[in-house]
Structure 1
């Protein structure tokens, strides 16, 4: 059974681990997890240098590795970051897969971090057994991935799946991470967006909150206004998801991330908005919580590496890099 060094690189932390994939479809084994801070403010060149050194060190810890898999923040094409937000300064243009291949001497499979999450859930989590999966990650931001027949569909410009940037009226006038204020769903329905919406809706006498976790804690403590904000935010996201399934018609939608752990209030509002927005033939598409938690992007990175390095590479999908 092949074992891969896997990496999940985000704006806050870089997680690494060894993932063993069962050739006959059993549950992957994730071992020896380690995390270091990304220290994004130091910029892309510094991050890539430290990432390559980390990968080289980790490869020396384990004999017989089949390759390296990485899911990274940013838009990924051919192992290179072709676009990124200011969350990681000067990350655009970094040739990540090349650097890792040189540092480790191994083949590298690289995808966007949310695509990695979707691959994990599609192959070994809540989407397993379905041909077409729309995977949504609702955390600090909102990302998505469309996985069809086990492979990511990345689109002509490698941005397919960016569901956080679907238009919704609730977001109009609220600045999105992509730079627009025309009304995207992410700035009012992500974890960061939940806090922004609370602060926009509150009266002058109500203290501002610092993050979405604060809103969830207030609601859990019985605060009616916080509960209203969560319900309104989740309903809007559900309406956006309804529009997405009307366009894409997947077999199932898998919803993961820290905000998706907000409980029944959030899920009930999400499903209500979805039911109102989805067409009659798509309304029955199930919205399922993810099953793999934080292991999903590491498992998905291993799947990406296996698809590149093995005989079943899928060259028509440019976000998977062959080395």
Structure 2
């Protein structure tokens, strides 16, 4: 294990997680994530407040590392929103984090430390973690998909995060599917994106749209998962419809990108066999014959994936 650590952050809509990540010297080794802590994002306070509290957290952590004689090799961040990797600026963000777009994160961190710095999107950080040390390890080209409150994705090709011409490569949640026709997406579209019917939020939305008279509405996707676990046949049918549609979108993405493997993570990916069986059925139905054998793999790193990926990003950039 490396003697130095990377101070990493994962900025989401609910919380900002932070940890110290030590990367292995042995390419076959496993990273070590320690001293994990978090603070609430409190998005309703706006982007300026989030940045101020992020800097305060980072300053406190850097001071604690100096006092404990822990050498820090760099600072890595995985952030919600579309990120300009080179400038360290948030290019755009949804209304889930008001005022986050336009925040100049790298410039702000330069005011508190001269350590090497790198920021990537949160799903990009997750993808770097899983492709380097998780379920995608050993595969050259990995499509990493996170299915949680929303749906995000990242393409990692030979260890390099593919960001695209506008920084939005991998946004698989905004692929079109007929199941989403007319359902408002977090991006504002109503043209049939998959996210508003297949994410955790979307699973609850789809259940409420499909429910027959006499069936009570649900507050969210977790409630649907709980009903499925309790043996509710209608909830299982809704989950299968949702997961199959996502599988069809994954097939389309793989027909285009032809990755070696797809890694699927996030809270919804833990919903169980009903979800995974339907996801794989949808993928098999839509994939070209040469693409059909592409494995759909459950993520292996859990919540540590974006912290590890942020460390990988700054280590490779240094």
TM-score per shorter chain, which class? over 0.9
Paired residue for 1:162?
A: 171
If asked which structure has higher relative contact order (CA below 8 Å, sep 6+), I would say 1
Secondary structure of the 1:88 match is: coil
Paired residue for 1:48?
A: 51
112, 118, 121: which one aligns with 2:121: 112
For 2:200 and 2:39, the matched residues in 1 are separated by 22
Q: TM-score, length-normalised on structure 1? A: 0.95
Secondary structure of the 2:282 match is: helix
Paired residue for 1:66?
A: 73
Cα offset, 1:61, TM superposition: 1.4
Cα offset, 1:105, TM superposition: 2.8
Cα offset, 1:203, TM superposition: 2.0
Given that residues 55 and 104 in structure 1 are in contact (C-alpha distance below 8 angstroms), is that contact kept between their aligned partners in structure 2?
no
Paired residue for 1:20?
A: 22
Deviations 1:69-115, CA, capped at 9 Å, x for gaps? 00000000021000100000011000112212322332111100000
For 1:40 and 1:194, the matched residues in 2 are separated by 23
Paired residue for 1:259?
A: 268
For 2:285 and 2:213, the matched residues in 1 are separated by 33
Cα offset, 1:48, TM superposition: 0.5
Paired residue for 2:232?
A: 223
For 2:114 and 2:13, the matched residues in 1 are separated by 26
Given that residues 53 and 103 in structure 1 are in contact (C-alpha distance below 8 angstroms), is that contact kept between their aligned partners in structure 2?
no
For 1:107 and 1:99, the matched residues in 2 are separated by 13
- The aligned runs of 1:88-107 (5 Å cut-off) are 88-107=97-116
Cα offset, 1:204, TM superposition: 3.1
- The aligned runs of 1:170-319 (5 Å cut-off) are 170-309=179-318
Which stretch shows the higher mean deviation, 179-188 or 104-113?
104-113
For 1:59 and 1:67, the matched residues in 2 are separated by 10
- The answer for unaligned runs of 5 or more in structure 1 is 310-323
- The answer for unaligned runs of 5 or more in structure 2 is none
For 2:130 and 2:109, the matched residues in 1 are separated by 25
Secondary structure of the 2:139 match is: coil
Paired residue for 1:32?
A: 35
Paired residue for 1:3?
A: 5
For 1:260 and 1:99, the matched residues in 2 are separated by 35
Deviations 1:178-218, CA, capped at 9 Å, x for gaps? 00011000000000000000000012311111111100000
RMSD (Å) for aligned C-alpha atoms:
0.7
Q: Count residues in correspondence.
A: 309
Q: TM-score, length-normalised on structure 2? A: 0.96
Which stretch shows the higher mean deviation, 103-112 or 245-254?
103-112
Runs of 4+ in 1 over 4 A off after TM superposition: none
Cα offset, 1:24, TM superposition: 2.1
